[in-house]
Amino acid sequence: MNSGRSRIPLSSIHIERCPACGQTTTDHVLSVADTLTQDIYGDRLGEKVINTLIRCRGCRLVRLSPRLAEDSLQRVYADWYSSGYVGTQAGQGGDKSRDREFERGHLRRIAKVVRVPGSLLDVGTGSGVFLQVAARHGWRATGLDFSREAAELARMHHGVDVRIGSLSSLPIEKCYDVITMFDYLEHTTCPADDLEEAARRLRKGGHLVIRVPNFGGWQARVMGSKWVGIISLHLTYFETNTLAELLASRGLAIVYSDSGNYQTLPELLGNKLAWVCRKTGSRGHDVGSKREVAPSQQSSTILRALRFALASFHELVDHAGGWFGRSNYIFVIARKRP
Ligand SMILES: [Zn+2]
């Protein structure tokens, strides 16, 4: 990252044409200052980044426009990764809770539809934890990521096979039984193209597995512009219907869908309690960290109880939302037509 007082010049571009259907007429949804670039660069930002969401009048897909230009996007990704995001997830020895998330959540869902493990390509593989867990369960798993830093960390910490590049850079002759895209599609500049490239690299009857933040979820609706899912690196904001239509237009039919929640209610509340104890006992924002922090003697029991109640309420709303397809995530498995 830069040192000194030089300003970080991030440039933006307008996306006039809907990347899904090509229409240009839109409705404004919301505008809000970006917290991610603010967190990374602080007052070194040349100009505040404003996230403006617009909805296509043709296919109803919500997109960010203007969005950061390609070189600015790459810069933010690089600085985001080097700020410790991937290092935290791919930390030495692995993160057991994250392992469990992928194992229980993603692989068990996939196993409901695909009975026998085969070849699997994980697009936007990030930390590489999923590849490692998938390989343990018998999948011949390969990762794909834009980021050289992420790929190297994944190889180093988890010993997994990760290629650097995009779907279109992979040879078309190579077809997979399953392609996964976890928390990926919302980041790409043209999700419709990615789905098309994925469909071309699936064998007939193969499955595409997707998890994306749910812009139609209850949290997103209640929080509005304060929803955590609105950041400058999320370029498309999916809802159940817009994702289904986009998949269908690329020859992919949804055969399984759920909320993307991976914890049972008791696990969820237990984890929240542990988080509150850590949070109350330390000053750091160490959500998801493995750091053991002894609760401070001065910590107030009432404060802990309040935090637990608030955090649990937040999660309970999301869990309940899952029963109606309104949780914070959409998880779908779509089948390529044979
Ligand atoms: Zn459209």
Which class does domain 92-262+325-336 fall in? alpha beta
Query: What's the sign of the alpha-carbon dihedral 121, 160, 84, 312?
Result: positive
- The predicted model gives 272-291 an average pLDDT of 55
Instruction: Inform me whether the pLDDT recorded for 300 exceeds 80.
Output: no
Percent of the chain with pLDDT over 90: 51
Distance 29 CA to ligand 1 centre (A): 14
- The predicted model gives 26-41 an average pLDDT of 95
What residues form DSSP beta bridges with 122? 143, 180
Distance 276 CA to ligand 1 centre (A): 42
Distance 190 CA to ligand 1 centre (A): 12
- The predicted model gives 221-246 an average pLDDT of 95
Using CA atoms, how far residue 263 sits from 178, 266, 318, in Å, is 24, 8, 12
Confidence of residue 297 (pLDDT cuts 50, 70, 90): low
Angstrom distance (rounded) from CA 203 to CA 228: 36
Which among 1-10, 101-110, 174-183 has the top mean pLDDT? 174-183
Confidence of residue 112 (pLDDT cuts 50, 70, 90): very high
Angstrom distance (rounded) from CA 112 to CA 75: 39
Instruction: Inform me whether the pLDDT recorded for 294 exceeds 70.
Output: no
Residue with tokens 């997707």: 210
Angstrom distance (rounded) from CA 124 to CA 145: 5
Distance 53 CA to ligand 1 centre (A): 13
Token code pair at residue 90 = 């791919």
Instruction: Inform me whether the pLDDT recorded for 267 exceeds 90.
Output: no
Instruction: Write down the pLDDT at residue 215.
Output: 96
Instruction: Inform me whether the pLDDT recorded for 280 exceeds 80.
Output: no
> Using omega within 30 degrees of 0 as the cis cutoff, is the peptide bond preceding 191 cis?
no
Instruction: Write down the pLDDT at residue 284.
Output: 39
Residue with tokens 């998330």: 101
Instruction: Inform me whether the pLDDT recorded for 1 exceeds 70.
Output: no
Is residue 266 packed enough to be buried (19+ CB in 10 Å), middle (13-18) or exposed (0-12)? exposed
Instruction: Inform me whether the pLDDT recorded for 130 exceeds 60.
Output: yes
- The predicted model gives 88-98 an average pLDDT of 49
Domain regions of the chain by residue span? 12-86, 92-262+325-336, 265-283+290-321
Instruction: Write down the pLDDT at residue 3.
Output: 44
Angstrom distance (rounded) from CA 225 to CA 203: 40
